[in-house]
Amino acid sequence: MIAGLSGTLSEPIAFAQNSIAVVGAVFLLAGLWTPVMGTLAALDEVWTAMSLYSSQRQDAWIHIFLAILAVSLTMLGPGAWSIDARLFGRKRFRPSRDSIGIV
């Protein structure tokens, strides 16, 4: 990711893709705005996989896999030590006895 940012500005689409990837990665590592940044990272990976301008066109399956991982992270949410958990509180999902069919 960082290597892509140090390239020339003659390819603004590649620069935009790499910039979005770097910003999304930093925010996801910090655990800040996880649903938004996970969605942004997933869309960026799909854009990179489908882009005609990508220098990594032969590695499209890697980008699709990374998009699936980003969507999974978006749905799971931040962890216990994330900034989101500190700001908004940790949310736990507990199934009720009615929802799992136990009478």
Contact 52, 45 (CB under 8 A): no
Rounded to 10 deg, the angle between the 12-30 and 34-50 helix axes is 150
Q: Spell out the residues 6+ positions from residue 80 whose beta carbon is closer than 8 angstroms to its own.
A: 90
Contact 43, 68 (CB under 8 A): no
Whole-model pTM: value is 0.74
Confidence of residue 64 (pLDDT cuts 50, 70, 90): very high
Tell me, what's the pLDDT at 34? 93
Q: Is the pLDDT of residue 1 over 60?
A: no
Over residues 66-85, the mean pLDDT reads 90
